[in-house]
Structure formats: structure tokens, C-alpha cells
Amino acid sequence: MQSLPFYPRGFRSCAKNVGIRDNTLDFTVIASDVPAAAAAMFTQSRFCGAAITVGRENVANGQLQAFVINSKNANVATGEEGLANIREVARLVAEELEIQPGDVLPSSTGVIGWQLPMDKLRNGIRGVRSELREGQLHVSAHAIMTTDTRPKMRASKIGDAVLVGMCKGVGMIEPDMATMLAYFVTDAAVPADQLKQCLHQAVNHSFNMVSVDTDTSTSDTVAIMANGMAGEVPLVDFQRALQEMAIELAQDIARDGEGATKLLEVTVEDAASFTQAKRVAKSIVNSPLLKAAIFGNDPNWGRVAMAIGKCYEYTDIQPEKVRIAFGDLVVYDGRALGQENLPQLQAYLKGSEVVIRVSLHTGSERATVWGCDLSYEYVRINGEYTT
């Protein structure tokens, strides 16, 4: 496991196996030495996990002191029993750390519809306080993984302060207002209301622009704690650092999408609105036909036209004004370009990143989204996930 070059002051963590399904890391606690300003965004799913309900309650006052996260079990569709279980987890962690129960944000990710193995969790929580260490956040990034093939973590400096972010999630990924699981901690001093604004803006241009498979998770959570131990920093610098890091982590999710062999970036520009640009870009990045073609290096660019065409609520989109390019290669500009360009397109598709750029000529707005190709491995992973 690769450690980070620097860590924010006053954050301690531990990550361990408590035996939820197997013997890999499945449980982590990340705690601030002092109460921290906090903000969070959650899935809008009607079948949201029990942890989401508790997290919403606890972050409402803009203050948190610890994240507690388990993988391997999502604690979703588990009714009153599931809700009581995750409340107990948060309470036990608070007692162990001698902090307020309302300052703990819990998260669960994994299989839907199974009750948490509470005896294992109770045993695991006991003694956590003595296991917390500084400089161990990178181990937490491992503990929150499910089908991820690698941890996703970033650190950056804003003056004296440090910002660290981590996330997981490579399937059931088309977040809307939040993503799978993403956590940020910083020792910068940022008031809770400004923290919330910064988080919303960063998420809307990063995690909300990613789709691996159009399936919105029941457990999406992105949360941040700012404990202030490094003092104030210019807000604009903080905002920029947070958004850049969120975009990098969002790209990491797409690049590590279940079964993915390529990162797919789609920019739609000259659009009538951001909403239109995003809708068309998502339609392209989510097309299973296009994703399979990109996996197979098949220069079937017509599927981009198909994906634009199915956004038929936008009657201002006129095929004769649309332009489609792969990298620098324009394949359609009001009409199909010659088939003699197909070998060049096929060669371009063999790279590990495919950039598609569409100009609608309906206005001047733009949006960029990220996704990945559709491979045999996606089918294999999801054909045998619980068995």
C-alpha cells in the first residue's frame, strides 16, 4: 500500500477486517481530534441505505467528528432492523472514541438486502480507539473498496493546509447529487456553510458527471470534514483544490469502472444549455452499443449519432449542424465523412483513453462527462457477484 506524501493535522484512522464476508479489509474509522465543520451529499434513491438516513440526520448541524465505513454489506432494504443496527454502530463508535453520537457519519457498501452481522461489528469496534493512528488514511482507502481493483486517493496542499480525498465505487455508478462513497478531510478552517457550497459545486462538476453503467446506487455518499487545525486559507484556493481533486477521483472511478479497459471522456459543446450538453453527453457515454464498440476498437462512430438522436426532446438539435470528433479526427460534420477515415479511427480507439467531442451548434454551453467501455469482464463480475 502506497502512503501519501503528507497528511492533514489532527486526523487519525484505523482500518481492519471484522469478518463481514471474508478476511479482507472491510471496516474503517476516520476521526478528527476535535469536532470539525462538515458537509455531505447523499443518493436520492428511494431505496436508500439505512446509513444514509442516519448520515443525513447527523450532518444536518454542519458538524462531524468521525466517519465509520463498512464494505461487503450495503445494509439496504433491511427495514427497521437495519436502521437500528447502523444506529448502534454509530453509537458504539462514539462511545469508544468518547465523542458525540450525533458527530458520527456511518456508511455501508456492498450487497443489498442482507442484515449486518452485528456480533462481528461489535467485536470489531471494541478497542478501536487504541488502534487509531495518524498517517494511515491510505489504508482506509483500501478498506472501502468492493469490486474496485485499486484504491483511489489524492492529497494536495492549500498554503499550510492539506486536503486528502478518497473514494470507491466502480459498479452501480451513475451518481446524481453524490457518488458511491467519497471522503475528504482537511485541516483548513472552512465554516460549515461555505464548506457545503464548495462541496456542491465540486460534486456537480465531478462525481455527478460520471457513469459506469447507468445504475444509481442506494448508498452514494460524499462527505467532508474540515477541522481547522491549519488555520484559514483563501476560499477560492480551497474551492479550486477541492474541485480539481474531485474531478481526478471521478476520473479514477471511470477508469476503474467494472471491467473497464478504457477511460471514455465525452465533451458536448456549443449547446443551448448546460442541461442539454450534459443530457446529450450522458446519452453518449451510457450507450451500451457505443461502449461495446469502443471495447472492441470498432470504428462504429454512427452510434454517437444514434445516442445524440435519442435525446429527441431537444428539437433544436439538427443533424445537419452537428459535428462529431474522436480526438482530433472529425468523423461527421453535417454529413458522414468518407469511409477512408475508418482505419485512422480504429487506430485511435486502441489507446487507453478515448475522447469524444460533439458540437451541437444550438448555443454556447458545454459539459464534460466520464465513463468507460463495456467488456466481457463487466458481465462476468456482475454475473457472479453474490455467488
Binding residue numbers for substrate: 146, 168, 179, 258, 382, 387
Of the candidates 147, 179, 216, 218, the residue annotated as catalytic is: 179
Query: Which listed range, 1-9, 149-157, 263-271, 370-378, lies at the site for its own copies (CB under 8 A)?
Result: 370-378
**Residue 336 in contact with its own copies, rule: CB under 8 A:** yes
Question: Shortest Cβ distance from residue 263 to its own copies (Å)?
Answer: 17
User: Which of 346-352's residues contact partners 24+ apart within 8 Å by CB, and which partners?
Assistant: 346/297, 346/298, 346/299, 349/294, 349/297, 349/298, 349/299, 350/297, 351/262, 352/261, 352/262, 352/263
200 to 239: interface string for its own copies, x by CB under 8 A: -------------xxxxxx---------------------
Query: Which listed range, 59-67, 88-96, 198-206, 292-300, lies at the site for its own copies (CB under 8 A)?
Result: 292-300
Rounded to an integer, what distance in angstroms lies between the CA atom of residue 171 and that of residue 216?
Answer: 9
Give the 3-state secondary structure of residue 91.
Answer: helix
Is residue 186 among the annotated active site residues?
no
Cα first-last separation, the chain: 28
Pairing mode, strands 181-189 and 161-168? antiparallel
**Residue 115 in contact with its own copies, rule: CB under 8 A:** yes
What are the C-alpha distances in Å from 159 to residues 162, 197, 225, 266?
8, 21, 18, 33
Nearest CB to its own copies, comparing residues 11 and 295: 295
Rounded to an integer, what distance in angstroms lies between the CA atom of residue 71 and that of residue 147?
Answer: 10
Window 293-312: residues binding its own copies (CB under 8 A):
293, 295-303, 305-312
69 to 98: interface string for its own copies, x by CB under 8 A: -----x-xxxxxxx----------------
* 383 class by beta-carbon count within 10 Å (0-12 exposed, 13-18 middle, 19+ buried): exposed
Nearest CB to its own copies, comparing residues 43 and 251: 43
Question: Shortest Cβ distance from residue 283 to its own copies (Å)?
Answer: 9
**Residue 275 in contact with its own copies, rule: CB under 8 A:** no
Catalytic residues: 179
